[in-house]
Amino acid sequence: MNDLSPKLGAGEKSCIAVARHRQGAFASDDLDARTTARGNRIPLTGTLGILLLSIESGHISLEQGNSFLEQLIASGYRSPVQTLDGLLKKCTRPPP
């Protein structure tokens, strides 16, 4: 495993180590943590990816996802999008 950035907290380091050991994914919006995960070839996602997956899998509706995103933005989350609509169209996979 590549050296873990000293900028990472103990929790981030632990989660990256577990993801690497179990060949799992890592979820974070932190740039340093994401960069470290990429450097270790660990699949990753963030808040928007989790919301999109929740919609695609039917756990929440698009309206609920947009409501969650709106609440996150109101709480200080810096999102590159205001709604999930456009991302969902880009990410939706065709049926098998």
pLDDT tens digits along 4-35: 778 899 999 999 999 999 999 999 999 999 99
- Quickly tell me which residue has 């932190």 as its tokens: 30
Confidence band of 51 (pLDDT split at 50, 70, 90) = very high
Domain boundaries, the chain: 10-45, 47-91
Q: In sequence order, what are the residues at sequence separation of 6 or more whose Cβ sits closer than 8 angstroms to the Cβ of residue 43?
A: 19, 24, 25, 26
Burial state string for 41-51 with b = 16 or more CB within 10 A and e = fewer than 16: ebebbeebeeb
> What SS3 state is found at 88?
helix
Q: In sequence order, what are the residues at sequence separation of 6 or more whose Cβ sits closer than 8 angstroms to the Cβ of residue 86?
A: none
Query: How does DSSP assign 7-31, residue by residue?
Result: TS-HHHHHHHHHHHHHT--EE---H
Q: What is the pTM of this model?
A: 0.81
Is the per-residue pLDDT at 96 higher than 50?
no
